[in-house]
Amino acid sequence: MGNSTSCCVSSSPKLRRNAHSRLEPYRPEPELSREDTGCNLQHISDRENIDELNMEYNPADHPRASTIFLSKSQTDGERLHLTHIAESKQHPSGPMRRKYSSCSTIFLDDSTVSQPNLKYTIKCVALAIYYHIKNRNVDGRMLLDIFDEKLHPLSKLEMPSDYDKHDPEQKQIYKFVRTLFSAAQLTAECAIVTLVYLERLLTYAEIDICPANWKRIVLGAILLASKVWDDQAVWNVDYCQILKDITVEDMNELERQFLELLQFNINVPSSVYAKYYFDLRSLSEANNLSFPLEPLSRDKAQKLEAISGLCDDKYKDLRKAAKKRSVSVDNLKVVRWSPAIIS
């Protein structure tokens, strides 16, 4: 330690050792610019939020982005036309009267976000597909061959020459979807996931659904949604029993290309699912396709009370698990629990 030629000869930053252990004056290196170092990056505060940009274009991925079908249904003339038809059929004598709850009577429907009504959910999904076709963008977007019904027909009947000129009616779309759901015994939740996959396909592949491809696009979305959502999925060969003239090879190719166009993104967050469910309800309200309301009976009230009791017991168990056996009064934190739907 007392040797003057130790490693601590000089602590001054102006002197440094060369390869021959001789001291030479320190020459500061020239400062390199950002272009020279290749680190020409923006500050994080200057960068654009990628998620915010994608939200506008990927409504099937982000819960805060508005759904495409709801924006396309805002055509006032078309909506009023459907509303007038629905009112005239259901109530020929006059306009339909809306039911409101009172102190003595509470009106509820049997559809919830966890257990939607199958019939009316399929009707709403068919209406959403109808608006997609009716108000599609006429900008010359490409028509993929795998979805072209002229190249891959679902029936042996000869396609008319103007098959791609006439838009299908809502009843025709509903009948096609209902047939598949009834024969395959699919659930209402599967219908909502089908709509999510359909809009995700239109966004990712940058295509539009039109009279020439709507059946095969809907079929591919139902096929994929049934496999992702249901534990006991319907096999591709089972759909060949429903659609007699389609082959298993065609179903397999449809599924494969559908997945590739989705970039194998089949995840549906709970927040996105809930957004589509409530937007479908908004669509039904705007088009006079409301879910049927029934007075709250004593039995149903008891069932709701029992369900809420089970949820309350579950939160009590969570509160007990969160509490420590001994805590200091200075560090005591009260955990407040409130029932909420989170993503």
Q: How confident is the model at residue 57 (pLDDT cuts 50, 70, 90)?
A: low
- 316 is a domain residue: no
pLDDT tens figures, 207-216:
999 999 999 9
∠ at Cα 186 (220, 116), nearest 5°? 110
Beta-bridge mates of residue 24:
16
Whether 200 is in a domain gets the answer: yes
Over residues 140-167, the mean pLDDT reads 84
Per-residue confidence (pLDDT) for residue 60, from 0 to 100: 86
Tell me whether residue 140 is in a domain: yes
With respect to residue 309, please indicate whether it lies within any of the assigned structural domains: no
Q: What is the pLDDT, as a whole number, of residue 180?
A: 94
Provide, rounded to the nearest whole percent, the portion of the chain with pLDDT above 90.
35
Residue 54 has pLDDT above 70, yes or no: no
**CATH number of the structural domain spanning residue 246:** 1.10.472.10
Among 8-17, 157-166, 330-339, name the most confident range.
157-166
Is 149 part of any domain?
A: yes
User: Can you tell me the mean pLDDT for 124-138?
Assistant: 91
With H, G, I as helix, E, B as strand and everything else as coil, classify residue 9: coil
Residue 199 pLDDT exceeds 60: yes
**Neighbour count for residue 306 (Cβ, 10 Å):** 10
Residue 196 confidence (pLDDT): 96
Number of structural domains in the chain: 1
Strands 294-295 and 15-17: unpaired
178 within some domain: yes
Task: Say how far apart CA 72 and CA 77 lie, in whole Å.
Answer: 12
Q: For position 198, what pLDDT does the model report?
A: 96
The pLDDT score that the predictor gives to residue 325 is 54
Residue 218 lies in a domain: yes
Report yes or no on 81 lying in a domain.
no
Looking at the chain, list the stretches that DSSP marks H as alpha helix, in order from N- to C-terminal side: 34-37, 50-57, 68-72, 76-90, 118-134, 170-184, 188-205, 214-229, 236-242, 248-261, 270-286, 298-322
pTM equals 0.68
| Domain limits for position 124 | 115-287
Higher pLDDT, 235 or 2: 235
**Predicted local confidence at residue 112, as pLDDT:** 78
